[in-house]
Amino acid sequence: MSSEYSYANLVFLTVLTAANAVTGLISMAIMNSKGRSGLVGFLLGFFFSVAGIIVCAILPEDALHLHQRMTRMIPPAAPRSAPVCPRCGQPLTAIVRFCPSCGGQITP
């Protein structure tokens, strides 16, 4: 009887450990997606099971991670090319009405 009892305990502990490892991995994935420590997420999920997953899901994103994600969403502005004289092709350094090189009229 005692060997069956020990075997049942071993099976129960193995299943419990495997289930906790799965919840730990889920929590780790949630934390990594938010730019936070995956190890902390794994430990929360492993020791607190479903409650750990809920805590990880409720936590806000890391501010740096959020900033990086938001800047990837906004395309960079196209660089503005320097205006050139349509007559001689010389670059113009200021807003002028006439080209300082050839004297051609510049239209805005």
Angle in degrees, CA 90, 93, 97, rounded to 5: 80
Under the banding of pLDDT at 50, 70 and 90, the label for residue 2 is low
What are the sequence ranges of the domains in the chain? 2-73, 80-108
Residue 18: is its pLDDT beyond 80? yes
The whole-model pTM stands at 0.59
DSSP code, position 35 = T
The per-residue pLDDT for 15 is 96
The better pLDDT of the pair 57, 75 is held by 57
The per-residue pLDDT for 17 is 96
Summarised one tens digit per residue, pLDDT across range 61-71 is 888 887 777 77
The per-residue pLDDT for 69 is 77
